[in-house]
Structure 1
């Protein structure tokens, strides 16, 4: 067996190994990392790029050039290299400068500050099909003219087919996991997500938790109908989502019970809670609902369950007093 045949077999073994890695990898981010880490086994090329279509029609590009990893979003062009590769009009050019001059194209460099040479040889093949969850272009680039052979292009096309399937499967798995942690009615995270995010947040520093419920929500359903009750829940959920912006997240734990995870101690939460109370008071009359809230801060050695129990106790104290938020008098919200 001559050296050329042995080299070809090694490359195809590397392709099989990389395909198996893709099959075992379940997260899109991990897939992208695996591609950039292992593409060097298939191609003698210092640059690899994954350009994925974003929902807004842009290109979400992750590029490894040497030891540097760049992430950048590029606007779509009417007729650029990526658009041509996606449409099947361009697969490989071993003299990119001459090709772009001939075609009147303008090249875009992701890392404008890079001191590395410009791309001289370029290959790009499409990922996925129109309508798939994940679509884009897989590209390999070299600083040397004449770097790629027809066999290189064949390998890239075979690998792109496997990568496209792996990305589609990962996207489906992630979507199912997201749905399993999302409240269908309000779009907020559900109790399962609250527990997951709460446990993560407990390791990151000071943490406050607010527990909320709606007063007499059963009466709203009984007297005004479940469609009105659902509209009230969605309206409150929207206000809580806004309240949790910048260092927090809102959840529907079930029924008329909601929770907020808020970064920082209790004292840091007054401005957002004042805005929440004002927003609740400004709801249209047909969506109006009284809300009780219990707010506590994580204590040293406390579990998430213990934190929730204390928040629940404060919430019921607020309900018993007929106030929005139960706190010692010196800590009442401004204007109380």
Structure 2
């Protein structure tokens, strides 16, 4: 009986052949086997180095932003509330995959419980989608700040911000809820090997020996709802914001105002571009090696949590100044009129012709 080359690579983990699949009992396995990075198992220790390099700034940077916003009363504004939601979300995404991933790379601990796999699957897809929803809320805040500056404080009150945050959480939590319930109902009679270091929806669905079109269609529906509609809303909002910026009377005003939005644009691009690239390579890159698909999928989840605190820490003056104050313990004066919101209010006044 000739075994497939894929199973020869994993050896003793789970022998499998095409003829065995016809006689295997339909009882679901008690555990799945996470392969890590296929074809690169011997280099797992070395691969863990860049992953740890991304992990450390992601955790420290996001916790630093949460601490600074909490301690600095002048940052208790809608923009920074949404930023705290984003950093919390990034921490949850990172901690959902990093512990098990590093256990695979360092200790060859490949097994994951059946229920734990589905729990991880839910957290990954729920909070990845939630990041897109938070960006929508942040873009709405930026839109009101530049296009309706005099009404910003009356439109985005604390109750409204709380309702927006709750809507994002419920929206993504409910959309991701069918994922684990759908994959749990399928029989897994072929193999329990997942060629990734974490449980992703499409990877688990591929192991089922049943008609899984409903899972595939629902995954496409969620992708269109989250990445499609929200991406269109973000694009339209930023088009209006850029139009308002280009209507400013002087070049210096345009440059100053545009500078306050660079951080938001960079954060959004670091989230959407890797996700779009990963999706395109999955659907159209049939000749792309499997380990490349897996590495791109990992970058899609780990790069935004690493870059977001760097982007906002560098581009946001008040966060940068407070972080330097915390590090150096020096008396640094942070002037309130240097804040991003005040720049936006001045820019809005210039748009309305109140400032020459």
TM > 0.5 fold call: no
TM-score by length of 1: 0.23
Q: Whose strand fraction is larger, Structure 1's or Structure 2's?
A: 1
Higher relative contact order (CA 8 A, sep 6+): 2
The structure whose residues are more often helix, as a share, is 2
